[in-house]
Amino acid sequence: MLRTVTILGATGSIGRSTREVVAENPERLKIGAVVAGRDAEALARVAVETGASFAALADASAGPALARALAGSGITCGAGRAAVLDAVAMESDIVVSAISGAAGLEATFAALTPGRAIALANKESLVCAGAAVMARAKAVGARILPLDSEHNALFQVLGSEPVSSIRSMTLTASGGPFRTWSAAEIAAARPAQALAHPNYAMGAKISIDSASMMNKGLELIEACFLFGLDHGQLEVLVHPQQLVHGLVTFRDGSVSAGMALPDMRVAAAHCLGVDGRLDAPAARFLDLAASAPLAFERPDLVRFPALGLAMAALAEGGAMPVILNAANEVAVAAFLEERIAFPGIAALVEAVCAGAEPGLAAPADVAGAVAIDQEARSRARALLSQPPFTAT
């Protein structure tokens, strides 16, 4: 059976991995619609190369450039919020949700229709509206398949085991580019250094989150909703080799590990092979005998306070994960613009979370999540114009 795939975030690293897996399996998969942020030339190339029938940009102002780039191709296109939602509404079997940040929330929610599989790489959808997204998926009969390598590993390890059989789940982290750096060295880090991930080539936002370990904190929140666990059942281990992506400890004391090379195409292939596993080239198989010894260590919450902030937000619950994520997106953008130093990311997030309305409930829908997100962003931007951030 030939399945149609829609890719949200088609020009990013996960979109690229998805496209490569589709190209390897032309008898099983084809691409229908592709969506990106604002790069008209890049999206046009992707649309032509993949044979997509529709291309959409989230940035409405880039619409004319996209139309020019696709002139004569026969591919229809659009730009702006309505065009993105049109792409989501097109008939497809699998929607890959890989738009970075909270911007992917509305499109992911709209993609939840009966019978569809959602390959979810936009962790913010669950961080910002996890309960609403999971409830909607259950109500309409959509299947959510985790595309993040750690969650995908845990998903595969768990298999048909009930959640009641789980004692704990462990997500592994590479430790990022600053794993062995001192606190003083981290404090002086520049954007180029923070962007240099040791194992993956990723976009700027997720690379900075990896360097601060906020990414792992967001993944803990995501796992809580994906698997229906209590925050106390989730742990993080730093594993520099990134061959073990997740561990499940069962109530009887047994531990199962999800292992693979650090290659997003592995998780993408699992999600796209929803009706049966896809074949992978030999280079994508893990050879343990040829691998370096595996090492594990506890995360250092003193040098990486962002992870601790995410853990606290998860434990508090309610709207706090939404606020945490919004503040972090503002802080990461400010760091990339060199308006704040690297430690300022966690400092700004902590300040925004500390100033949040106590006991604010978790959003019941996308509109509620967006409202909380926007208010937190506004407070974060206001704090950026005040000491101590103006003195950075």
Query: Within the chain, which residues score under 50 in pLDDT?
Result: none
The domain spans of the chain are 3-147, 155-243+297-391
Q: What local confidence, expressed as pLDDT, does residue 390 receive?
A: 79
Fold of 155-243+297-391: Rna Polymerase Sigma Factor; Chain: A (1.10.1740)
With b meaning 16 or more CB within 10 Å and e meaning fewer, what string describes 213-223?
bbbbbbbbbbb
CB atoms within 10 A of CB 350: 18
Residue with tokens 């101590």, as numbered in its chain:
388
Cα angle 238-241-247, degrees, rounded to a multiple of 5: 55
Local structure of 310: helix, strand or coil: helix
Closest CA to 114 of 139, 131, 96: 139
Is 105 within 8 Å of 122 (Cβ atoms)?
yes
Residue 14 burial (C-beta neighbours within 10 Å; 0-12, 13-18, 19+)? buried
pLDDT per residue as tens digits for the range 21-34: 999 999 999 999 99
pLDDT per residue as tens digits for the range 202-231: 789 989 999 999 999 999 999 999 999 999
Domains 3-147 and 155-243+297-391 share a fold: no
Q: For the domain 3-147, what is the CATH superfamily, name and number?
A: NAD(P)-binding Rossmann-like Domain (3.40.50.720)
Q: How far apart are the first and last CA of the chain?
A: 57
Q: What is the enclosing helix (H) or strand (E) of 345?
A: helix 343-354
The whole-angstrom separation of Cα 19 and Cα 105 is 22
* DSSP letter (8 states) at residue 261: -
CB atoms within 10 A of CB 159: 8
Q: What local confidence, expressed as pLDDT, does residue 134 receive?
A: 96
> What's the pTM?
0.94
Strand partners, 7: 34, 96
pLDDT per residue as tens digits for the range 336-378: 999 999 999 999 999 999 999 999 999 999 999 999 999 999 9
Closest CA to 195 of 220, 214, 181, 212: 212
Question: How do 3-8 and 29-36 pair as beta strands?
Answer: parallel
Is 83 within 8 Å of 110 (Cβ atoms)?
no
Q: What is the enclosing helix (H) or strand (E) of 256?
A: strand 255-259
The whole-angstrom separation of Cα 208 and Cα 211 is 5
CA atoms within 13 A on the CB side of 128: 30
The whole-angstrom separation of Cα 80 and Cα 178 is 38
